[in-house]
């Protein structure tokens, strides 16, 4: 029988960052214990967006993966 977290275990072995849900917050696991009652996921990647404000102004915005927090904004020339 396949382990409940087998796909995540393989992804972790291949270098993916794993997070575990503790109460309602996702926390990075350095060495997951793969508890069958635990909830795990691959850490989502940040989202990068590029916006044109005017003809010659380009803005780069980086959000967290679920787009609830703006991490940085920079002016790109």
- Over residues 23-74, the pLDDT tens digits come to 999 999 999 999 999 999 999 888 887 878 777 788 888 888 778 888 888 8
pLDDT given for residue 19 in this prediction:
94
What integer is the mean pLDDT of 9-35?
A: 93
pLDDT given for residue 9 in this prediction:
93
The model's pTM is: 0.64
Residue listed under structure tokens 């795990």: 40
């Amino acid at each position: 029988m396949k382990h409940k977290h087998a796909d995540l275990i393989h992804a972790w072995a291949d270098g993916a960052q794993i997070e575990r849900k503790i109460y309602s917050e996702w926390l990075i696991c350095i060495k997951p214990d793969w508890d069958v009652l635990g909830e795990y996921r691959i850490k989502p990647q940040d989202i990068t967006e590029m916006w044109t404000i005017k003809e010659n102004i380009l803005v780069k915005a980086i959000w967290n993966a679920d787009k609830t927090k703006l991490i940085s904004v920079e002016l790109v020339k």
